[in-house]
Amino acid sequence: MASHRNPEDPDHPEQPARITRIFERLEQEGLAQRCVRLPCRPATKEELELKHTARYVEATLAVKDLLEAGAIQESRKYNSVFLSPESTQAGFLSAGSVLEATAQVCAGEVGSAVCVVRPPGHHAEADCAMGFCLFGNVALAAAEARRQGWSQRALIVDWDVHHGNGTQNMFEEDSTVLYFSTHRYDGGSFYPGSKLGHFSSHGQGAGAGFSVNVPWDVKGGQRRGCPAPGDAEFLEAFRRVLLPICEEFKPDLVFVSAGFDAAEGDPLGGCSVTPAGYFELTRLLRDLVPGGSRLVLALEGGYNLESISSSMAACMRALLGDCGPGGVPHESMPSPKSFHSDAVEAARAHLAQFWPSLRKSADPSRVPATALEGSWSSMQLELRNHAELTGGDFSELKKRQEALLFQAGGGAERPSTLGWPASCPCSATMFPQSCCW
């Protein structure tokens, strides 16, 4: 896997040193020695075709026979992907390693597994590579677990700073896999740059409600002097959204798409999760499956060599039952910033239509963020839905909503019951998401 490289840019952030530095750190801290080393193997074509088209698998297989110039030319067919003749073997090994680790966990040979692999996988679509990713490593493992009867209800937790578009698309209509992602979104402008990562993108058909997104607006927060989300915010997303849903879903197998580009110091992410934060996130996931962890954690992104190494070590410590980095108790972590808490509550309010557990402890007097943006009719619909879900008084909520919008509009005349007066600066079709309440 270390042979996969960018022929045109040796300093590309998705570089071989990512996995070698992680292994070095795990050995330095004595963690690797406390684990069983599982053999890696290439994925089979049959396994890859569980979630990828035969045509795409063949195209990737053919890269190994190209000269370097041909591999470069092939890579230009895709979005943010580099290829070398060695990429085929690396991609097959990366996917196969996660598949093998899953088989070992499900057979009870090991309780949990950490897969230090590259290239990553969560951006790869069924028919193409994307975003440094060749195959959907975690998605393939979840599909194989279902096919083999090892799992009836798999949970995929994706804490990479980028939304895992490929993984979500692969299970968009599947109620046997719950996909949860918390990621930087910035109104859809942050990579992969689509509306798929919004909380309203919740799956389709039988899979409605089984795609769960908690998107962060980092740029919006910066405009208000609000720091980027970190430990407290990611933990709140877990505790307020993911964990209540898991009480209903009851996963029997847990996967983590463990990207560490939301870590402090990452050159691409712009967030501030610490090793102590990743330790606590892993600790919360470790005990979700009764009777054993049955957890498979696979490396995705993360491009600061120091932060990905220390973060992965923290995750492994959590799986081994150790104390967290520095011995700092999770109770001492700071409270989440209110701006980012609003994003969590907006996702929670939207998803409550699918998960009754999210209706519990909801504040019936709180105006949800979703009722403070968009057209006037859509805001009223969101407010009425919130009132019905929480038992709140719609008339009182409407008064609070109007007061908040009036305040955000800079003193404009309050709206009439028929809508906004033409003179109100908030009368645009879309209420600006940048307003702060």
List the catalytic residues: 123
Are 337 and 345 within 8 A, CB to CB? Answer: no
**Residue 100: C-alpha distances to residues 116, 289, 298 (Å):** 13, 20, 12
Q: Across-strand partners of 273?
A: 263
Collapse the DSSP code of 380 into the 3-class scheme (helix H, G, I; strand E, B; otherwise coil) and give the result. helix
The tokens for 340 are 């980012």
For residue 192, cis peptide bond before it (omega within 30 degrees of 0): yes
Residue 60, both tokens = 């990737």
Rounded Cα distance between 424 and 36, Å, is 65
Contact between 120 and 299 (Cβ < 8 Å)? yes
DSSP structural state of residue 181: E
Query: In the 8-state DSSP scheme, what is residue 144?
Result: H
CA 299 to chain centre: 12
Question: Alpha-carbon distance 190 to 193, whole Å?
Answer: 5
Could you give the CA distance from residue 292 to residue 106 in angstroms, rounded to a whole number?
A: 11
Retrieve residue 212's tokens.
């769960």
Widest CA span of the chain, in angstroms? 69
The two structure tokens encoding residue 420: 């906004």
Residues 186, 155: contact at Cβ < 8 Å? no
d(CA 371, CA 377): 10
How far is it, in rounded angstroms, from Cα 352 to Cα 245? 9
Rounded Cα distance, 113 and 299, in Å? 11
d(CA 22, CA 431): 45
Half-sphere exposure of 104 (CA within 13 A, CB side): 20
Contact 242, 295 (CB under 8 A): no
CB atoms within 10 A of CB 337: 18
Residues forming beta bridges with residue 298, ordered by sequence position: 115, 257
Q: What are the DSSP calls for 315-328, one per residue?
A: HHHHHHTPPPGGG-
